[in-house]
């Protein structure tokens, strides 16, 4: 399964958000899922870092033409040259989406995820109808596990 992690970049994320993103990245890898993100800093980087601690696989779908833009924990940077429109691809490529913190770029991704029929699990993020917000990381990961194994 592919899990898209979306959220704030360096400029907006708090220490607490980054820590939680790292923990969720770790959990995604432990569950055997591939982590997809926008490939840059902040929540994206923290989540990739977490996934790599568990030897997970990380894919970063970048706005620019330049793979060097990817953070150091991205295994497979995908350059697009699409600018902000690459947000559409970030959520299109997840079977489920996890949103942590985030500003208007993240909100655009939440909207695209809704359009593509994805479930969106949220932590400290936009409070709109299509986001299933969780109060803690444990609850969110518990829900992810259920999605992993629908028969469970």
Q: Site residues (CB under 8 A) for its own copies? A: 34, 57, 59, 61, 65, 67, 76, 78-85, 88-89, 92-93, 104-105, 107-108, 110-112, 114-116, 128, 130
Determine contact, residues 120/5, Cβ cutoff 8 Å.
no
Smallest distance from its own copies to CB 104, Å: 4
In the complex, minimum distance from the CB of residue 137 to its own copies, in angstroms, rounded to a whole number: 26
Least distance between its own copies and beta carbon 122 (Å): 15
Question: Quick one: residue 81, left, alpha or beta (phi over 0 = left, psi -120 to 50 = alpha)?
Answer: left
Number of other CB atoms surrounding residue 24 within 10 Å: 27
Comparing CB distances to its own copies, the nearer of 16 and 104 is 104
Structure tokens at 18: 């980054």
Nearer to its own copies, 110 or 140 (CB): 110
Backbone angles phi, psi at 92, to 5 degrees: -60, -30
Q: How far is the CB of 20 from its own copies (least distance, A)?
A: 23
Nearer to its own copies, 82 or 137 (CB): 82
Please calculate the CA angle 35-62-73 and round it to the nearest 5 degrees. 45
């Amino acid at each position: 399964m592919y899990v898209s992690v979306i959220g704030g970049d360096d400029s907006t994320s708090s220490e607490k958000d980054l820590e939680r993103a790292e923990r969720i990245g770790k959990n995604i890898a432990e569950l055997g899922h591939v982590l997809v993100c926008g490939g840059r800093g902040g929540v994206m980087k923290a989540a990739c870092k977490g996934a790599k601690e568990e030897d997970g696989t990380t894919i970063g779908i970048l706005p620019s033409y330049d793979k060097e833009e990817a953070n150091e924990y991205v295994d497979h940077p995908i350059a697009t040259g699409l600018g902000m429109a690459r947000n559409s691809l970030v959520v299109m490529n997840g079977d489920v989406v996890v949103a942590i913190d985030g500003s208007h770029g993240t909100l655009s991704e939440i909207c695209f995820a809704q359009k593509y029929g994805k479930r969106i699990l949220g932590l400290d993020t936009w409070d709109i109808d299509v986001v299933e917000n969780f109060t803690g990381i444990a609850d969110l990961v518990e829900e992810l596990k259920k999605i992993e194994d629908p028969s469970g």
